[in-house]
Amino acid sequence: MDAPIDTLNYMIAGYAVIFGGLLLYVASLFVRTARLRREEAMLEEDQE
Amino acid sequence: MKRNYPRGLIILNLVTIGLLLVATLMVFLYAPVEAVMGMVQKVFYFHVASTWTGMLGFLVAAVSGILYLRSKDSKWDVVGLAGVEIGMFFTLIGIITGSIWARPIWNTWWTWDPRLTTTTIMELIYAAYLMLRQGIEEPEKRARFGAVYAIVGFITVPMTFLSIRFFRTIHPVIIGGSDPSSTGAFDMTPAMLQTFIFSLLTYTFVFATLLWHRVRLGKLAEKVEQLKLALND
């Protein structure tokens, strides 16, 4: 039987997108939360 | 300032990270290398799981839309927006990983096959949902329009899911048997099937975890918006 074709690079690229994308999305959640908390604190200060 | 972080969310975070680790190990160490496609076939496990999660996000948005229209409770608007955002993110990951898989198997990055076309339409329909929301300042009106749009937009999800079953396509069908003209279809061994099902389960947990976090973010954004409105009055 023939050996499978060499597609290792494509697999690496695929999983780089999967895990890189997931990390970026989680990071975006953290960044947006931190920004909103700062804004919330400032607005609450303004209200007082 | 100390923030209230729900115990359930901490547990869900840990369970999800654990499941993701096990699923990754199963993909690379347990599932065998496919005889024809080689290593790139391993992308399939998380590619399908990503598109599954994307559709789950759109389903949550549609159900939240119905619940919002019935109750007028803004929490359903927050959940709906979270569902769309996560759905779009995972659909995009599915499209990109599918394209990477297609390059060595179909010898092209992209083709206007029924599945790829309907997936693109679905993604664009939900991108328009975000643009629609951006254009409406009044929160109640934005939530109402968003709810109706999420319900109507959901039609693209079964359309995408069924496209490879109704039309002649080169995209493989994993459940239900492929069209004879499909390229890249393969028979799953028991280890492949177990890895596939475990990946779907894992991504369902990933979805639930991200949804919870995104809903918390949405509630915070809502609070900030209300504070701004109160200051302007």
Q: What is the ipTM of this complex?
A: 0.91
- Which pLDDT does position B22 carry in this prediction? 98
Flag whether B183 is in a domain. Answer: no
Mean residue pLDDT across chain B: 93
Q: What is the pLDDT of residue B55?
A: 97
Residue B194 lies in a domain: yes
Confidence check: pLDDT of B178 > 60? no
In order of A23, A34, B51, B110, the CA distances from A27 in angstroms are 6, 11, 21, 29
* Rounded-to-integer distance, Cα B122 and Cα B160, Å: 7
Query: Which of the pair, B20 or B187, is modelled with greater confidence?
Result: B20
Q: What is the pLDDT of residues B48-73, one digit of tens each?
A: 999 999 999 999 999 999 999 999 99
Q: What is the pLDDT of residue B180?
A: 60
**CA gap B153, B159 in Å, rounded:** 11
Confidence (pLDDT) at B3: 66
What is the extent of the structural domain holding B151?
37-175+189-232
Residue B32 included in any domain: no
Residue A9 in this model has a pLDDT that exceeds 50:
yes
> Which residues in chain A have their CB less than 8 angstroms from residue B214's CB?
29
What is the pLDDT confidence band of residue B1, given thresholds at 50, 70 and 90?
very low
- Is residue B74 situated within a structural domain? yes
Region B29-41 average pLDDT = 93
What is the tens place of the pLDDT at every residue in B110-143?
A: 999 999 999 999 999 999 999 999 999 899 999 9
- The answer as to whether B25 is a domain residue is no
Backbone angles phi, psi at B70, to 5 degrees: -75, -40
Q: How many domains, in total, are found in chain B?
A: 1
Q: Could you tell me if residue B142 is inside a domain?
A: yes
pLDDT band per the 50, 70, 90 thresholds, residue B182? low
Nearest by CB to residue B96, choosing from A6, A17, A32, is A17
> Residue B195 falls within a domain, yes or no?
yes
Best probe of the A interface among B53, B97, B216, B233, by most A CBs < 10 A, is B97
Q: Is the pLDDT assigned to residue A1 strictly greater than 70?
A: no
Let me know if residue B24 belongs to a domain. no
Nearest-neighbour CA in chain B from A45: distance (Å): 11
